[in-house]
């Protein structure tokens, strides 16, 4: 599922002056992004998406997901580009999945389950970053679920908390708080700066108030928008409401002069450019002198056995928006943990060409796919990782390009009649290419 049918049209802002984007066309239907209680009917059965605010999973929750995958689904979980997971091959009428996930505290608020889309810098508080946003994703989730009106957000609406390194600020969030120093940050709306200076302690409240303003603006525009960038002048309008009616950290500030001290650090004087983060695979040095470890499943698909291996090796794991899994505090020797992850079939070498290749589910799981793209993606990996050395590649089964990464990558799309369009050039086959 994707919203690629509408162009991404972020506002651009320069020193408090907002430009008007080309208006996005009105949506013809309501957002139907899948959840657990409203799954998507795919060719291989029902698909349920489980939101993981901040990507956090405890070892107990990993075990529960492994059991659900084997006993209710296709035996695996599929990582998404928003740090969430999907279960496929489900029986839509079976209520057992909801019961199991609720008992594991993965569905704390059924009415809000589709809107709990929250990214947070995975390494925050572990290594680097300007501010520590650990815990803010959980707090944002709690307060989001406590506001009944916010259950009306579209299922594609995305929040982000960036600790200043820019890793999640470029991942297409509708609303993002990005640190400018240890205690203060700025609000980004659809990737554009607002000039609003927001203390760390007020970040959650401001993000939720901005979401409420979005819903009000959306209703005034006819209630069809799925994303903030689909509303005309969204960044300026949201900033004006918040700057005029809200007190940040005890003092009232005007939107035109309340700039984050490090605001010029953001591309375009406040804009968030798509990032190309480190893969967070292999040993990851921590600020405290210890070592975290990261791993990636091939093409983002984690088997039940791999989930259980992760659960054995750490009390908690972080699922990243780049389809990798970070263990911030592995049990025992990090080198042993990496060896055991590799033994389970996970990728642990940060230079592995397989890390550069992603793919949608393709045939036979998706009815709209025109090819078995995962088999073809594996052929690319066997040929040293893609069509252009060192560049990311995404293989899609149709023009919707589900799961495509943000930023520069080689665009490989299956076409009617066979073959692929590779950055606009037709090739008869990826397996037999020159």
* 119, 54 contact by CB (below 8 A): yes
Name the token pair of 110: 């059924």
Mean pLDDT over 190-216 rounds to 96
The DSSP 8-state label assigned to residue 231 in this structure reads S
CB-neighbour burial class of residue 148 (10 A; exposed 0-12, middle 13-18, buried 19+): exposed
Per-position DSSP letters for 285-299, written without gaps between them = E-TTS-EEEEEB-GG
pLDDT at 32 over 80: no
Name the token pair of 248: 């940040």
Residues 6+ apart with CB under 8 A from 192: 10, 11, 12, 13, 18, 235, 268, 270, 271, 272
pLDDT in tens, 388-430: 667 889 999 999 999 998 888 999 999 999 999 998 888 887 7
- Alpha-carbon separation of residue 404 from 1, 138, 276, 319, 393 (angstroms): 11, 27, 13, 17, 9
- Alpha-carbon separation of residue 214 from 2, 16, 76, 191, 324 (angstroms): 20, 19, 36, 15, 31
* 53, 95 contact by CB (below 8 A): no
In which residue are the tokens 């889309």 written?
Answer: 117
Strands laid side by side in the 85-90 sheet: 40-42, 45-50, 85-90, 76-79, 301-303
Name the token pair of 11: 């506002």
What's the rounded Cα separation, in Å, for the pair 52 and 86? 11
Per-position DSSP letters for 256-271, written without gaps between them = TT---TTGGGSHHHH-
Of 223, 209, 242, nearest to 27 (Cα)? Answer: 223
pLDDT, residue 285, reads: 96
Residue 364: is the preceding peptide bond cis (ω within 30°)?
yes
| Pairing verdict, β 56-58 and 316-319 | antiparallel
In which residue are the tokens 């695979």 written?
Answer: 281
pLDDT in tens, 148-184: 999 999 999 999 999 999 999 999 999 999 999 999 9
User: Of residues 114 and 260, which shows the higher confidence score?
Assistant: 114
pLDDT at 213 over 70: yes
H/E stretch holding 340:
helix 334-343
pLDDT, residue 256, reads: 34
pLDDT at 264 over 80: no
Name the token pair of 313: 């090796």
How many residues belong to the chain? 434
Q: Sorting pLDDT into bands at 50, 70 and 90, what band is 431? A: low
pLDDT at 99 over 60: yes
Q: What is the pTM of this model?
A: 0.87
Mean pLDDT over 16-39 rounds to 64
pLDDT, residue 432, reads: 60
Q: Phi and psi for 382 in degrees, rounded to 5?
A: -65, -25
- Torsion of Cα atoms, 147 then 323 then 56 then 91, to 10°: 70
CB-neighbour burial class of residue 379 (10 A; exposed 0-12, middle 13-18, buried 19+): middle
pLDDT at 15 over 50: no
* 83, 141 contact by CB (below 8 A): no
pLDDT, residue 26, reads: 61
């Amino acid at each position: 599922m994707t919203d690629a049918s509408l162009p991404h049209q972020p506002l651009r802002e320069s020193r408090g002056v907002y430009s008007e984007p080309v208006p996005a066309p009105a949506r013809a239907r309501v957002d139907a992004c899948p959840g657990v209680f409203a799954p998507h009917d795919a060719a291989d059965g029902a698909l349920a998406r489980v939101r993981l605010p901040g990507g956090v999973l405890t070892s107990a929750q990993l075990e529960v997901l492994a059991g659900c995958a084997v006993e209710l689904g296709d035996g695996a979980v599929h990582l998404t580009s928003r740090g969430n997971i999907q279960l496929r091959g489900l029986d839509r009428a079976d209520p057992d999945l909801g019961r199991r996930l609720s008992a594991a505290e993965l569905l704390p608020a059924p009415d809000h389950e589709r809107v709990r889309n929250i990214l947070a810098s995975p390494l925050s508080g572990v290594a680097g970053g300007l501010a520590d946003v650990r815990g803010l994703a959980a707090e944002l989730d709690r307060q989001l679920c406590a506001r009944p009106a916010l259950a009306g957000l579209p299922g594609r609406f995305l929040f982000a908390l960036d600790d200043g390194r820019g890793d999640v600020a470029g991942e297409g969030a509708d609303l993002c708080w990005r640190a400018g120093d240890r205690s203060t940050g700025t609000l980004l709306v659809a990737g554009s700066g607002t000039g609003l200076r927001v203390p760390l302690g007020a970040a959650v409240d401001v993000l939720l108030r901005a979401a409420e303003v979005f819903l009000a603006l959306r209703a005034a525009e006819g209630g069809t928008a799925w994303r903030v960038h689909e509303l005309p002048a969204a960044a300026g309008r949201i900033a004006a409401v918040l700057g005029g009616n809200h007190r940040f950290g005890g003092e009232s500030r005007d939107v035109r002069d309340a700039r984050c001290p490090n605001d010029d650090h953001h591309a375009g004087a406040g804009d968030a450019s798509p990032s190309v983060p480190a893969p967070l695979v292999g040993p990851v040095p921590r600020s405290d002198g210890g070592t975290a470890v990261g791993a990636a499943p091939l093409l983002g698909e984690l088997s039940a056995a791999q989930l259980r291996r992760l659960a054995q090796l750490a009390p908690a794991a972080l699922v990243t928006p780049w389809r990798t899994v970070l263990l911030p505090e592995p049990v025992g020797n990090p080198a042993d943990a990496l060896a055991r992850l590799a033994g389970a079939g996970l990728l642990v070498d940060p230079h592995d060409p397989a890390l550069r290749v992603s793919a949608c589910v393709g045939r036979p799981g998706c009815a709209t796919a025109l090819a078995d793209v995962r088999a073809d993606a594996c052929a690319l990996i066997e040929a040293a990782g893609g069509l252009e050395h060192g560049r990311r590649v995404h293989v899609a089964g149709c023009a919707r390009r589900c799961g495509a990464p943000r930023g520069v990558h080689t665009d490989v799309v299956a076409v009617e009649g066979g073959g692929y369009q590779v950055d606009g050039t037709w090739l008869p086959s990826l397996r037999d290419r020159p």
